[in-house]
Amino acid sequence: IDDLTEDFPFTSSGTEWRGVSDRVMGGISNGFIKRETDLQGKKANVLTGHVSLKNNGGFIQMVTDLALDPSKSISVDASEYDGIELEVLCRHEPREFNIHLRTPGTLTQASYRCTCNVAEEDKWQTIRVPFSSFESSESELPPLDPSVLRRIGIVAIGREMDVYLAIARVKFYVVI
């Protein structure tokens, strides 16, 4: 998905990272994404800001579409993979974040979600999340179908917090 070899905001897959906050629905959280070129020896996309629960808000995120060629398809087929792998560094409490996946069938605010816990503060760690760990945010959605993934979001959500979350790599993985 992105090994950070391309200039920011572009992914190595040819899509672009962008920041989204709860302000799109009336919240007051502030978030920013930027590229650090040497964060403990790695290039990283860094999500910083403050999540506020005021005005029914509560999230900031970095997102990218997954389709390699949107003129041919709005999704990517990841069914040959077992899940998502990220290399992360976290400097906020609680040390957790969500991964949100969207498919062409998800509504505007719906997604498939998984909460990830980061074991150690300020240390690079690899986190693997099997597709089977993602749960729908809406009861009427079918189980996640990895053959039609449209977008990935790395999200700080659900509680008041200052955020510092760095991502040095995002990819699909296979268990051998």
Phi, psi of 132 (to 5 degrees): -65, -15
Distance CA 159, CA 167 (A): 21
Cα 117–chain centre separation: 14
**pLDDT exceeds cutoff 90 at 36:** yes
Distance CA 41, CA 150 (A): 31
100 vs 161: CA distance, rounded Å: 19
pLDDT beyond 90 at 86: yes
Q: What is the pLDDT of residue 110?
A: 85
Across all residues in the chain, what is the average pLDDT? 94
What's the pLDDT at 88? Answer: 97
Confidence of residue 73 (pLDDT cuts 50, 70, 90): confident
pLDDT in tens, 136-173: 998 888 999 999 999 999 999 999 999 999 999 999 99
SS3 132: helix
Q: What is the pTM of this model?
A: 0.94
Compute the average pLDDT of residues 85-102.
Answer: 95
d(CA 171, CA 5): 13
- Residue 156: burial class (beta carbons within 10 Å; 0-12, 13-18, 19+): buried
Give the pLDDT score at 24: 83
**Span 94-134, pLDDT tens digits:** 899 999 999 987 877 789 999 999 999 999 999 999 999 99
What phi and psi values does residue 58 have, to the nearest 5 degrees? 140, 30
Share above pLDDT 70 across residues of the chain, in percent, rounded to a whole number: 100
